[in-house]
Amino acid sequence: MFANNIFRGFNWGLFSLAMMLSFLGLLFIASATAGHSMGYLIRQLMWMGLGVAVLIVVVWLGYRSFLNLAFIFYGLSILLLVLVMITGVSAKGAQRWLDLGVIALQPSEFCKLSTILALARFLGGRSPKKNHWITFILASGIVIFPLGFILKQPDLGSTLIFIPIFFCMLFVWGAKLRYLFGTVLLGVAGMPLFWMLLKEYQKRRLLVFINPNIDPLGAGYNAIQSKIAVGSGMIFGKGWFQGTQNRLQFIPEHHTDFIFSVIGEEWGFVGAALLIMLFLLLIWRATLIGTQTTDMPARLLVTGIVSMIVFHIFINIGMTMGMMPIAGLPLPFISYGGSSLISSFIAVGLLISIYKTRSIF
């Protein structure tokens, strides 16, 4: 009975794409961490199994259960962000993790989902034709509150990802364009203040994005080495486990933030294109779910999840190729890290749940 309830109307296509990407992630992590212990690969495999289990539970409970508890999840994620500030683990100038003994939890990854749920619940229950500006201000507050905590860690990449998610959800909800454009203008006007709030290393990252050669052995080192790795792979790559930039440790964090450089060097243009094609298929199938439901909260939830995945991919691959500033965002399903992988499976579970209960126009 339980299995019938879970798998009746299950979106196997979307699930298969998530699994394929996760298995590819295992292959890339194995190469990126070759010469080290098998711990990275084993832990990622365990998180993958846990992620699949959590996905099944999410589908079983249904997305409406999560929307009903959206503000509770939102409050818990804020509490975790506060705990990070008080007792969090610091690494490389950032305090983003909670040490739970067995694993180190990164609350900002789950906060993205909880904020999307809270926005979908809040906006989905209101008409864009009534009290528009009040709703807009309150929705902005839902986003700004966790954003401030995450910026304090500091985690510039996760902070930036909230902005396109917010605008995409507002657009689908039906927000007036003048409000959206007005917010953009306020953001541009506030750039000097935003610059002052950044840490020195974050300022250097933005400056070397414009010209990596101004600090080739410092802030620009990662970007330069990553571009060399991706370019050296050419059409078919150097072969799995054969990447010199990777194996000789020229690129720091090549199993997490810069894992696409491993893919570009070892699998070449063909391998990178295959990965991007799988991502595009996942995004297309997810977007299709949003167009097939008349439930506004569900449509907003799909919009937020798709926006989150799209901009994670865009920023991560872009920074690896020197097209975006280094922001420290993982590549969904691919980068090493339990928090990112499990939150990605939760997102897919929510999408599958919406698919199971969708109503066609």
In this predicted model, what pLDDT tens digit does every residue of 117-126 receive, in sequence order? 999 999 998 8
Distance CA 327, CA 312 (A): 10
Q: Is residue 58 part of a domain?
A: yes
Q: What is the pLDDT at residue 196?
A: 66
Of residues 222 and 351, more confidently modeled: 351
pLDDT level of residue 359 (50, 70, 90 thresholds): very low
State pLDDT tens for residues 215-255.
Answer: 555 556 667 777 777 777 788 888 777 776 666 566 666 67
- Is the model's pLDDT at 274 over the cut of 90? yes
At 198 the three-state DSSP class reads coil
> How many Å is the Cα radius of gyration of the chain?
20
Overall average pLDDT of the 64-76 stretch = 95
Q: What is the pLDDT at residue 361?
A: 36
Distance CA 212, CA 170 (A): 35
Q: Is residue 106 part of a domain?
A: yes
Distance CA 226, CA 261 (A): 6
Overall average pLDDT of the 276-302 stretch = 94
Q: What is the pLDDT at residue 229?
A: 76
Q: Is residue 177 part of a domain?
A: yes
What rounded mean pLDDT belongs to the chain? Answer: 83
Q: What is the pLDDT at residue 115?
A: 96
Distance CA 154, CA 202 (A): 9
Distance CA 227, CA 224 (A): 5
- Is the model's pLDDT at 1 over the cut of 60? no
Which letter does DSSP use for residue 293 in this model?
A: -
* Dihedral sign, Cα of residue 20, residue 115, residue 337, residue 217: positive
Q: What is the pLDDT at residue 37?
A: 65
**What is the number of structural domains in the chain?**
1
CA 64 and chain centroid, separation: 22
Q: Which of 5-19, 219-233, 284-298 has the lowest mean pLDDT?
A: 219-233
CA 19 and chain centroid, separation: 17
Of residues 91 and 60, more confidently modeled: 60
Q: What is the pLDDT at residue 47?
A: 94
- HSE value, Cβ hemisphere, 13 Å, CA-based, for 38: 3
Question: Cβ(301)–Cβ(64) under 8 Å?
Answer: no
Q: What is the pLDDT at residue 3?
A: 62
State pLDDT tens for residues 184-197.
Answer: 776 666 666 666 66
Q: Find where tokens 């969090």 sit.
A: 88
Q: What is the pLDDT at residue 284?
A: 96
- Is the model's pLDDT at 170 over the cut of 70? yes
Distance CA 29, CA 41 (A): 7
Distance CA 87, CA 81 (A): 10
Ordered DSSP codes for 15-49: HHHHHHHHHHHHHHHHHHTTTS-THHHHHHHHHHH
Global pTM value: 0.90
Of residues 160 and 47, more confidently modeled: 47
Q: What is the pLDDT at residue 321?
A: 80
Burial classification of residue 69, based on how many CB atoms lie within 10 Å of its CB (0-12 exposed, 13-18 middle, 19 or more buried): middle
Q: Is residue 233 part of a domain?
A: yes
State pLDDT tens for residues 129-151.
Answer: 776 788 888 988 999 888 888 87
Question: Cβ(291)–Cβ(144) under 8 Å?
Answer: no
Question: Cβ(346)–Cβ(252) under 8 Å?
Answer: no
Share of the chain above pLDDT 70, in %: 81
Q: Is residue 361 part of a domain?
A: no
Distance CA 236, CA 234 (A): 6
Instruction: Give residue 92's domain range.
Output: 2-356
Overall average pLDDT of the 4-22 stretch = 88
Q: What is the pLDDT at residue 206?
A: 66
Q: Is residue 222 part of a domain?
A: yes
Paired residues of 104 in beta bridges: 99
Q: What is the pLDDT at residue 86?
A: 84
- Is the model's pLDDT at 266 over the cut of 60? yes
Euclidean distance between the first and final Cα of the chain, in Å? 30
pLDDT level of residue 112 (50, 70, 90 thresholds): very high
At 213, the amino acid letter reads N
- Is the model's pLDDT at 347 over the cut of 90? yes
- HSE value, Cβ hemisphere, 13 Å, CA-based, for 214: 9
The strand order across the sheet containing 89-91 reads 89-91, 94-99, 104-105
Most confident of 207-211, 234-238, 267-271: 267-271
Q: Is residue 343 part of a domain?
A: yes
Share of the chain above pLDDT 90, in %: 37
- Is the model's pLDDT at 179 over the cut of 80? no
- Is the model's pLDDT at 346 over the cut of 80? yes
* Dihedral sign, Cα of residue 74, residue 76, residue 79, residue 83: negative
Paired residues of 90 in beta bridges: 95
**Which is nearest to 128 in space by CA: 293, 300, 350?**
300
